Each structure stands twice: as C-alpha cells, then as structure tokens.
Structure 1
C-alpha cells in the first residue's frame, strides 16, 4: 500500500538549470496575491504619498521654512525607499528569490542602510528644531535658519550614504563570517550578514539619535505643559497684543512638535524590532528564520509610507496642498502663492 502514496513534490528552484540555485518559496495563489497586494500597496503609498509631501513643500512658497525643508528631505528618503528598496524586496519576500543580479543586491543593501540612517538623522534634527521653536518661539526664526537646516540635511545624507556604501559596498560587514556566508550562499539569494563589531556600530547609530530624540521631546512636552498652564492662568487677565501673538505662535509650534513627535514614535516602533533582532542574531549565530526577518524588515519599510498619513491627519496645510495637487490646480498661474496656513 505504501507504494501507492504520491511522491513528495520536488522543490522548486529560483533558477531551474543551476544546482547551486536557492529554493523557491511555494505559495498557493491566494496567499501569494495577498502578499503582493500588501507589499505593493506599501510601496505605492511610500512613493506617491511622499511625492505629494515634497511637491507641497517645494511648490508652495508659504511652506518654505527650515522645518519643512527637513520634512521634505525626510520625505525624499522615504520616497527613495519606495522606489529602490520596497519593490525588489517584495519579489524577494514572496518568491524567496533575487532576480535582479548580484550587483544590484549590493546596491539594494546600501540603499536600505543609507535611507534608514538618513531618516533617523533627519528626525533627530527635526526634534532639535522643534525644541528651539517651542522653548523660544519668537527668537526661533533667527536661531534655526534655512542655512542651518541645509547643513543638517547635508550631514544626514552625506554621513548615511558614505557609511552605508563603505560598510556594505566593501563587504566589511561580512569580515570574519566568510565561511558561514559561503555555506549559506546560493544563486538567487540576497541576504547580507553583519558581524558582531559592525552590528554594534549600527546599533549605536540608531540608539544615540534615538536617545537624543527621547530627551529632547521629553523637554518639549514639559515646556509645552508649562506654557499651557501659564496661558490658562492669564486667560482671565487682559493681555497685550504682543503677548497674544506670542501665545498664538507658541500654540502653533507646540502643535507642530506634537505631530512630528508622533512621526518619531512611528519610526522607532517600526524599526526597533528589526534592530534588536539584528543584534541578537549576530551574537547567537544568525538563527532567525527567513520569514521572521522578512516580517521585521517590512514593518520597517512600511514606516516610509506612514509619515504622509500622519501629515494628512494632523496638518491642515498638507490636506489643502494635496487637494490642489491632485485636482491639478497647482498648474495654474501664481498657485505657489496660495495661502495654506490660515489661522
């Protein structure tokens, strides 16, 4: 009777004619469609959502502020994740195969690291910008200028790009892991490994800006609480026009700080599980199953699609700008001078 049992299905390979090929993941049509839908939707949202943010800030003159330039540059990093990382990761996650060549595998890893670190440095500088704005709203325009914002943006991009391309482009991340990497390497795979020394450096580059942001936003909310209490105590008194203006500015800056604080929390919640798993994995022999790695990576990738949603929920100017862009009204003459920040 045993001979009547059907033979086990043969494993599918990424490249059928190569014995050294990686094994392809076999999903039934239903789960396969769901996975591609989820991943492609995230990529689409990251691309078009962040494109709307960039167009809004760059087109409308009223939005040309140091803070918004940082936000536009952050959106650029998220946009590039949606263009250069997420679509290719979607195929790798669903198929279990890398069909885009060994060279782009390296670039993909470099882009992944560059844009992640660029994002966290942008968020760190945004938190410092918000601290200055909330602590002294009237002097803020003279302290955090467009030039200062440009320096912060330049540092974020240059450091992140040079570091990631040096680490992953030269293969320094795999030093000391040659035998393990060689044993696990197959044609059609694109999973890098980071040794213990560099994974600690990666963690520090994530942890230090995170610590700065936590400290700064704690101070911001303490100051905001004190300001709110002060305005409440003055509400029954007659205040001068200068005090009224200062209160309005302080209220606006606190609201902006709260919104950007939500973006910071979303980033940390999205990427922290992946960072922690990377550290643990490097010290226990890379035992994380591939599907767990993919889930954690995609939670991080989806952060690139979240910021436009946060802005749409909390920034009326973004909702107005988005409507003008989608309806084509930005193509009209003098559309860049439209008022988006009416009190």
Structure 2
C-alpha cells in the first residue's frame, strides 16, 4: 500500500472520528437543553412566576422557545436526509429550527427593551401598563421578526446532489448569496447585540446614579404589583417605585433580574458569534463549502449550547427561579 493510500485512510478515519464526536455532542447537548428548559417551564408554571410581570412572561416564553429549538435541532440535524420529495420537505423543515433560534434572539432583545423603558422611563412604562391590552400581540413580536428574517431559508434550502443525505443552500447568484447572508448577519447579530448592549449599558448607568436608593420608602407609590384577577394577566411590573417627581428606587429583585439577563446576553453573544462569522466569511468570499464544513457543524453546536445554558444561568443567578426551584423540586419531598 502506498503512502498516499495510508494518508487517505488516516484522513477518512479522522473524519469519521470527528463526525462521531460531533454527533455525540449534538445528542448530549440537546438532551440537556430539553431537560433544563423543561424544568424552567415547570418552575414558572408551578410558582406562577410568569404572572408577576410581563418581563417574566417573556422569560417564560424564552424557555419555551429554547426547549422547542433544542427539540427541532435534535430531530432535524441528526439524521440522514431522505431521498426524493421527502428530502426536499426535510431540508425545508430545518427552517423551523432557525425560526426558533431567531425568535430566541429577538425575545432577548425584547426583554432588554422592556427593562430599558421600565428603568429609564418608569412613568411612561407605568402609564402603558395601565392600559388594559392583551398579552398575545406583545408576545408575538419576536416571532414576527423571526419569520421575516428566516423565511428566505425555506426557499433556499434543498437536498445536496453532490453529497446525498445532506442539505445545502442554493443561491441563484453571488449577489443573492451576499444579500441573503448579509441580511441574516445584520438582523441576527449586529442589531441584536447593539440594541442589548445599548439598553443594558444605559440601565446600568441609570441604576448606578447616586439618586438611586435601594431601600423603598414607605411613602412611595408602589408600581408593578401583579393583578392576578385580570383574565389577560396584565401586570405592572413589580420592579420599581416612584417617590415625588425625581427619584427612582430600584429593588434588589430588579437588579438581580437585570444582572441575570446581562449574563444571558453575554452567553448568547459568545455562542452565536462563531456561526454567523463563519457564515459571513462564506457569503463574502465563497471560498469553502459552507454546508458541509466541520467548522459550521461545530459552530451550530456552539450556538445550541446557549439554548441549553440559559437555565443554568437562571439557577446560578436568578433568585426568583432559585426560590421557585426549591419549592417545586426540593421542599415537596418533605
């Protein structure tokens, strides 16, 4: 056997080992994500945390999105693409995972904007909360943006004729590839990270202002108690009070939640960056096979890790969840 044959055998074995490692990582990661997010949902329902304020309701939606995102990743990215028309349907169905991934991104952005308005414009936020509006239209905002951004992938995704059993994106021209990739990179990375960074930075600066007092005055007008008697679970966000016309007082619960979401945002930014950077390089230069490249597979796994990591962030930092977890899974044993 020649040295070239030995080299080819070695490369094939290495490729098989890498593929096996990625496959095991996908299964382990998605199972952890499903179990962890399901526990968050159970705690939120059992302790009715989602009824305390609209932002907590968004956090409940975040866990639901991440749960289904992990499920769709497990179903649609771990099996061979079938032949014929079923293969076309299977490849286009993968858009469901990207839709949930994008909805997860925009839901995080929505939470940051909610906190920004609540902290920097409390009276406006309070007046808006006084208006009895349904929650469903508000909760649909991240989904609307997600559908608009990733709908194009359902059109572009087709079975790969050169590599049976896999999917690829088919662009009619280089210009279409650049426009498609550039829009996804801009709307799913640049704008979300910029908005979340801006909002949480402004919130941090405001809450570090010397006029802020962590102790609530007994004469202050409390805003944001959950009205559990309303059918639409309309709430007024139990995170701040207003005294007089100038000073704003922020509770420890408010600060704890914001720190939790800042950590979640950092995890999101770190995990999604490799995938979208690799995608951006591909659409700009078209110098490698993006759909079959192992870097892309590893980058997707890195992104899915953020869907599984959020519950652990809540368990580590979010006091409301920690208390609810103890009530749901620990104290019940006694």
- Give the TM interval when normalised to the shorter protein: 0.7 to 0.9
2:69 counterpart (77, 81, 86): 81
In structure 2, relative to structure 1, the CA distance for the partners of 1:118 and 1:310 (3 Å cut) is same
CA distance in 1 between counterparts of 2:142 and 2:273 reads 20
Worse overlay, 260-269 or 190-199:
190-199
Deviation at 1:295, TM superposition (A): 1.1
**1:260 counterpart residue number:** 261
Structure that is richer in strand per residue:
2
CA distance in 2 between counterparts of 1:240 and 1:318 reads 26
**1:299 counterpart residue number:** 302
Q: How does 1:318-333 map to 2 (within 5 A)?
A: 318-326=321-329, 329=332
Question: What number of residue pairs does the alignment pair up?
Answer: 294
Local SS of the residue matching 1:230? coil
1:154 counterpart (128, 136, 140): 140
2:93 counterpart (107, 110, 125): 107
Unaligned runs of 5+ in 2: 172-176, 223-240, 242-247
TM-score, reference length from structure 2: 0.74
Work out whether residues 274 and 297 of structure 1, in 8 Å CA contact, stay in contact via their aligned partners in 2. yes
**1:211 counterpart residue number:** 194
Deviation at 1:285, TM superposition (A): 1.3
In structure 2, relative to structure 1, the CA distance for the partners of 1:185 and 1:210 (3 Å cut) is same
Per-residue CA distance 1:289-321 (angstroms, 9 max, x = gap)? 711111111111111001101100011221232
CA distance in 1 between counterparts of 2:4 and 2:179 reads 50
CA distance in 2 between counterparts of 1:148 and 1:263 reads 27
**2:27 counterpart residue number:** 40
Task: Note the aligned Cα RMSD (angstroms).
Answer: 3.6
Q: How does 1:6-155 map to 2 (within 5 A)?
A: 27-28=16-17, 35-64=22-51, 65-86=53-74, 88-89=76-77, 91=78, 97-98=80-81, 102=87, 103-108=89-94, 110-136=95-121, 140-144=125-129, 147=133, 150-155=136-141
Unaligned runs of 5+ in 1: 12-22, 175-180, 331-343
Per-residue CA distance 1:222-255 (angstroms, 9 max, x = gap)? 10111xx3357x99xxx95235974764432122
TM-score, reference length from structure 1: 0.72
In structure 2, relative to structure 1, the CA distance for the partners of 1:40 and 1:230 (3 Å cut) is same
Work out whether residues 70 and 126 of structure 1, in 8 Å CA contact, stay in contact via their aligned partners in 2. yes
